[in-house]
Amino acid sequence: MNAAVTDSEGSSVFGTGGRDDARKFARLPDPFPMYRGGQLHQAVVAYETWGKLNEARDNAILLFTGLSPSAHAASSPEDASQGWWEGMVGPGLAIDSNRYFVICVNSLGSCFGSTGAASINPATRAPYRLSFPELSVEDIARAGYETLRSLKIGRANTLNGPCWAVCPCWRLPRSFPVRLAG
């Protein structure tokens, strides 16, 4: 998937990546200004979810990936293939999908569905390649924040992620008005 993906109703959350693919896509604000300069148009973030959002909409865990993984952290009924954090995310596990609504966002700039250098630049109708704006942790954190906003979630219970993913977890609450439980 690339930034040219649209739906028929102009929704900020739409579609799946294809058959046996649990990815959904959140549209980022257009334009999406990048922290170190430049901007993206028609940008999207790929994400997957596990569990159910409660009525208060405050049981969400926003899970960031490391630098290279997709948003497929664990298997689900929509995609039974093993995820990269299979032993951590799911019913009764440390990140318990019976208790929490888990949202794993694929990093902006990735090749796994979120807008990145291989995506089509709508201005040129060719891949961004080297013209893709310089990406920062702040951009990845903001893309996670905008994914929460697109799902109408004003309060995340927890921010989490393996290895490098602690960087956007640290940056998001310092840069954007996301409220955390506690």
> What DSSP state is assigned to residue 181?
-
Burial of 122 (0-12, 13-18, 19+ CB in 10 A): middle
Is 63 strand, coil or helix? strand
- Encoding tokens for residue 12? 């900020």
Confidence (pTM): 0.83
Choosing among 3.40.50.1820, 3.40.30.10, 3.30.980.10, 3.30.70.270, the CATH entry for 13-180 is 3.40.50.1820
Read off the pLDDT of residues 2-19 as tens digits, 9 standing for 90 and up. 333 333 344 455 555 555
> Does pLDDT of 148 surpass 90?
yes
Domain assignments of the chain as residue spans, ordered by start: 13-180
pLDDT at 71: 95
Read off the pLDDT of residues 57-83 as tens digits, 9 standing for 90 and up. 999 999 998 777 899 999 999 999 999
Per-residue burial over 90-119, b if 16 or more Cβ lie within 10 Å, else e, is beeeebbbeebbbbbbbbbbbebbbbbbeb
